[in-house]
Amino acid sequence: MVLKAKAVNMLNCEISFEEYRKVSRCKTAKKFWDKLQVTHEGTAQVKETRIDMLSKEYEMFSMKEGESIDDMFERFSIIINSLDAMGITHSEQMLVRKVLRSLTRE
């Protein structure tokens, strides 16, 4: 029990004040970790919903009228990086094709 308390105290020193408020009442490192995990990753259902939303954004992605290529690529990168973080990856070849198909006639 003393070891667990030390671990919790050590973890408390390494997080921001906002995160500390969320986990300050946790008595064990396990509860502390679980709380942070749900806070940052969400539950399995939340994660699945995020994946669905990001996948839809990826599928529907296209260049907006008047948008620069740099701005379009930045939006695309955010979607791809978010999907990667959720464990959904695409080959470079697929990504290049998607970008090329998303360009406007301009």
* Mean pLDDT, the chain, integer: 82
Encode pLDDT of 13-29 as tens digits. 566 777 777 777 778 88
DSSP for the chain reads -HHHHHHHHHHHHTS-HHHHHHHTT--SHHHHHHHHHHHHH--HHHHHHHHHHHHHHHHH--PPTT--HHHHHHHHHHHHHHHHHTT----HHHHHHHHHHH----
Encode pLDDT of 26-75 as tens digits. 788 888 778 777 777 667 788 888 899 999 999 999 999 999 999 999 99
Q: For residues 49 and 2, what is the distance between their CA atoms, to the nearest angstrom?
A: 39
Domain limits of the chain? 2-41, 44-102
